[in-house]
Amino acid sequence: MITRRLFAAVALTAVVATACGTDDGKDAAVRPDGTVDLPQVTLRVGDQKGTALQALLESSGELQSVPYKIEWSQYTAGVPMLEAINSGAVDFGGVGNSPPVFSAAAKSSIKIVTGYYAGVAGQAVVVPKDSPLRSPGDLRGKKIAVTKGSSAHHQLLTVLTRNGLSFKDIEPQYLQPADALAALSTGRVDAWAIWDPYTAQAQQQANARILVDGDGYVNGDSFYVAGNKALDSKSRSAALRDLIARIRRAHTWVNEHPEQWAQVFAQQTGLAPDVALLSVTRNKYRDHPLDDATIDGEQQVADAFSEAGLIPREVRIRDYVDTRFNDLFPASS
């Protein structure tokens, strides 16, 4: 794990009232009068290559004058990040729609705290350009790479189910993106279920084609997740409120400056510029509150994994949702 600390240039003090049940007397950043001294707070934030949250915030100017400290940790996918959040090593991070389901099934100490739509075109099952596979039904009996517990895991499950297949009808190869790309490129797998920017990478660097994308199969939602300990801390939840507002503004900036962001994204991730640009331009952010429709949509994801026997128990998603930040995301956004 590579961890870097970003120290705020300007120290600010905020008075924040949040709904949490911590003992403020044990929180050094909470003053006797109940106000929060944000410069005394440190947030530990998880990041992924596919989302590059730190770079996004830096590029949009949202890391300027942050009134608290941020410690960044890098992860290859959402599931290991949520494992770190569950353990208390990380406070907060962004993931697709499936990792929270797997964490909830493991009874992890996490909550979904914000949601955003990130598009469905980048969610895809890709195959080599000259592959004989032409439709989802052709996946029967094939070796398909997928990252376990990822959003691509759900998309693949949905594609199979709606085309009369199941995971018993394929040979799933549970691989991380880098290993899956190599497996597809060398013919060790027949297909790869993946998300952007890796879908774009497969298209541009492995000459892959999209067999089926997420249109009509998935709702395109992703989430930010926080640990229960962070949410129970008045000071850290105050800092989270500020950070979430910055993320929303950064998303707006990306939508308005896609080419500028693609250049930075390429530099930060090591992706080729054409890969970064393809990924950025087909996926627009749309932040929204955790309303009933969003929660019900995530429940459908959980039910699909449960019915397929891919998680050990049924999950009630509402038990793993915290809506205290909904006021930051009007329904019209």
Are 65 and 203 part of one and the same domain? no
Quote the domain boundaries for residue 159. Answer: 123-212
Same domain membership, residue 144 and residue 162: yes
pLDDT (average), residues 306-327 = 97
Q: Report the pLDDT averaged over residues 103-124.
A: 95
Q: What DSSP string runs through 64-115?
A: TT-SSEEEEEEESSHHHHHHHHHHTS--EEEE-SSHHHHHHHTT-SEEEEEE
Q: Is the same domain home to 168 and 295?
A: no
| Each residue's pLDDT tens digit, 217-271 | 999 999 999 999 999 999 999 999 999 999 999 999 999 999 999 999 998 888 8
Residue 31 lies in a domain: no
Q: Per-residue pLDDT for 2 more than 80?
A: no
Query: What is the average pLDDT across 192-204?
Result: 93
Compute the distance between CA of residue 248 and CA of residue 328 in angstroms, rounded to an integer: 9
pTM: 0.86
| Res. 17 pLDDT band, cuts 50 70 90 | very low
> Do residues 309 and 178 share a domain?
no
Helices 198-205 and 177-185, packing angle to 10 deg = 20
Whether 45 and 110 map to the same domain: the answer is yes
Question: Structural domain tally of the chain?
Answer: 2
Does a structural domain hold residue 14? no
* 252 located within any domain: yes
Mean pLDDT score, 89-118: 96
Which of the listed residues 148, 177, 212 is the one where a domain comes to its end? 212
**Residue 103: CATH number of its domain:** 3.40.190.10
Q: Are residues 130 and 96 in the same domain?
A: no
Residue 17 lies in a domain: no
Confidence band of 331 (pLDDT split at 50, 70, 90): low
Within-domain flag for 103 = yes
Unique residue bearing structure tokens 């920017």 = 197
